[in-house]
Amino acid sequence: MDYFPVFLNLRRRQVIVVGGGQIASRKAELIGKSGARMTIIAPTLSPAMRALIIRFGYQHLPQAWEGDQSDPLLNDAHVVIAATDEPEVNASVHRCAVARHIPVNVVDEPSLCTFIMPAIVDRSPIVIAMSSGGRSPVLLRQMRTRLERLLPTGLGRLAGFLGRFRDTVATALPDFTARRRFWEDLLASTVPDLVYAGRDREASRELMLSISDYQGDAIQKGAVYLIGAGPGDPELLTLKGQRLLQRADVVIYDRLVPVGVLEMCRREAELIYVGKKQGDHPVPQEEIGAMLVRLAREGNRVARLKGGDPFVFGRGGEELSELVRADVDFEVVPGISAANGAASYAGIPLTHRDHAQSVSFWTGHKRNDRLDLDWSSMVTAGQTLVFFMARPNARLITDQLVQHGLAPTTPVAVVSAATTPKQKVVRTSLHRLPDAAAATDPELPVLLIIGTVVNLREDIVWFADEMDQTAAVFPRHLKVADSTAGSSVA
C-alpha cells in the first residue's frame, strides 16, 4: 500500500490552491464539493476558474506565489494544492507546505505529494475513492466508469434512509452482533428496492417489522456455510459464496483456498487454518466437524471454505452429516471443481462428440494405504478419466490402467496449479505418466486428465492464437505455461 486512504473533513476549513488554469479549476471544483473555504493564488485566471470563484465565493489573490513558508496565509491552511505550469513554483509550494506540516498535492508530480487526489465515485453520503498511486490515471478512469454503471444512482438516498433509523435500531438491538446481522439481512431484503423506488413509507414499515425478529435469543442461533472456493483463480468464486463470506464471523479454510478468496472475507472475521496435505493432517477431520458444530452453537456464522467444490473429493458430505446430526443450520454453496477449472484453463474439453461421451472423476488418494478403485470400469471407449490428488500414486494408477487394458499410448495431461499464474500443463502418454507427475512441484495441487480429448488442446490453442480469441478459452497468461514430457501425443 503506497498511500493510506483517509477521508478529510474540510467543511469550512481553509484550502489554498496555487494556480488559476484549467487543471487548477478542476481540483478546486472537486474540493469545493466538500464545503471547504478556498483561497486561489494566481496572477491570472482561466474562464473556468473565474466562474468557480463567482459561483462559490472563493477568495482570489491576484498575485504570484511568493515562496515564503512564514506566509500568514498558511497559518490556517489544512490542505495546499499546487497546479501551475511552472515547476519551480510548484516545488516552492511543496517545500513551504512540508515545512509547515500541511498536506500538499502537486498536480502530476507524485514525488512532491504528501497526499494524492483519488478518482471518486460520488453517491453522497456514499463516496468511493480509488488510486493507482499515480501510475495509471487512464485505468482509474475506466474503473470509475464501470463503478458508475454498476452502483445504483439512488445509493446515497438509501444511505440517508438507513441513517435515519440508526439510533432506533441501536436502542432496540443493543447487542453488536445482533445489530450487524440485522443490517446485513435488511440490505438483502426488499427494503433497498422500495427506497430506490421512492416508497419510503413501505420501506420504513418493513424495517420496523424486521427489528422484532432480531430481539431475544433467536438471533443467537448460528449457521454454517459450506462454500466451494473454486480451483485457484479467485474470480471463479461464486457471487453467493462471496456474499456469505462477507457475513461470516469465522472462516475455516483449507490449504488450497486461494489467498485472493480469503481477502474477500469480512475484515473482522476470525480466520482458522485447517489445511491438510498427503501425510500431514494437523487438524483431524473429526476435530474440524466438532469445531463447526461448536462455533455455530455459540451463535457464529461460520464459513467453511474448501478448494474446488466441497462435494467433489472435498469431504463436504462428512461435514454436512455432522451438522445434520447436531441440528445446526447450514447452507451449501457449490464451487467450480478443480476438474472443470483445470480442463477449461488448459484448453481441454472433458467431453467431445468425436472423442468422449462421458467423463468420470476418481480419487488418486490412498485410504488405509490402499487405492481400491473399479479399474475395469475405467477402460471404456469414449470416456475421459480425471484423477484428483494423484501425484504420489501416479505409477500405481499407470500400472493398474495398463494392466486392465488401457493402451500405454493413451494421451495424458498433467495439470498443476490449475487456473493460477503458476499453472503448468504437461502433455504426455500413459506409460510416461509417472515421470511427468514426479517432475511437478510437490507443493502444488496436481490433476490428471486421461483420454484422447487431451489431443484437442493443441488444436484449440492454435485456433485461439489464429483468431486472437485466447481469452475466450483461457486467460492468455496461462497459455504459455505449457510443456511436453516424453513422447507427446498430438
Residue 423 in grid coordinates: 499453472
With b meaning 16 or more CB within 10 Å and e meaning fewer, what string describes 354-367?
ebbeebebbebeee
SS3 for 74-105 is HHHEEEEEECCCCHHHHHHHHHHHHHCCCCEE
Is 33 designated active site? no
71, 185, 276, 277: the active-site residue: 276
C-alpha atoms less than 13 angstroms from C-alpha of 172 in its C-beta half-sphere = 18
β-pair partners for 358: 383
How far apart are the C-alpha atoms of 407 and 429, rounded to whole Å?
9
254, 306, 309, 479: the active-site residue: 254
Strands in 446-450's sheet, in edge-to-edge order, are 358-363, 383-388, 446-450, 411-416, 424-429, 482-484
22, 84 in Cβ contact below 8 A?
Answer: no
Is 254 designated active site? yes
47, 20 in Cβ contact below 8 A?
Answer: no
Amino acid 76 reads D
* Active site positions, annotated: 254, 276
